[in-house]
Structure 1
């Protein structure tokens, strides 16, 4: 009886550890290049499935810092679909990028657009 109880407690504790260590991450991330706020460039759908790349993008977005509301008319380069929503993305040759949730596109957040981050998106500096 004592062995059954210990085994039961061990299984329950392992189950709890497994549940707590699970973090919601996307299995895929989709992104497209944009022509304007409503129109995507044709044939630019990219799907990211690599777990390491997904982790980098999600971590970058989770560490975003609120910049504030801005009346913006500059067209975003990308629209990115994550597990928690869709975002516009503006990046350039610097390490600072900007994102805005599509549902509130005037509320901006700064992100660290690292070299790794840009490589995942296959970002090319505009000439």
Structure 2
């Protein structure tokens, strides 16, 4: 019985280590300004590699709240590549923003666009 318990704990430990090692670490986030849904503005690519900025952006996206399906033709300001996913971002001078996955651009999620988030993406208010 004692051997089975030790073996079970050993297998669980290995499984947990394997699960944690598969966790993807974001090294760089790509952000580009957009002309329309398919066309980026030339020379606007930002590569964000600062660990604190990446953490702020990831945390903001993780806390996004589903808004729902909206038929939207308003061009987003940004396209953000986060690991293997790409998102559109609509943002302004308010405290909220909206994101949608590029592969499902009609499903919207609200985000809290804090000053820290805006600084992390180098947002500059449009005039």
Aligned twin of 1:125:
125
Name structure 1 gaps, 5 residues minimum.
Answer: 1-12
User: C-alpha deviations, 1:60-90, integer Å up to 9, x for none?
Assistant: 0011000000000111000000014000000
Matches of 1:101 and 1:19, distance apart in 2: 26
- Quick check: 115-124 or 33-42, which moved more? 115-124
Residue 62 of structure 1 pairs with residue 62 of structure 2: yes
Cα gap change, 1:56/1:85 in structure 2, threshold over 3 Å: closer, same or farther? same
Aligned twin of 1:48:
48
Q: CA RMSD in A?
A: 2.3
Aligned twin of 1:113:
113
Aligned twin of 1:101:
101
User: C-alpha deviations, 1:27-58, integer Å up to 9, x for none?
Assistant: 10001000000100000000001111101101
Aligned residues: 118
* CA displacement at 1:126 relative to structure 2: 1.1
* CA displacement at 1:25 relative to structure 2: 2.7
Whether the 8 Å CA contact 1:25–1:55 is kept in 2: the answer is: no
Name structure 2 gaps, 5 residues minimum.
Answer: 1-12
* CA displacement at 1:18 relative to structure 2: 9.3
Matches of 2:84 and 2:64, distance apart in 1: 14
* CA displacement at 1:124 relative to structure 2: 1.3
Matches of 1:22 and 1:116, distance apart in 2: 29
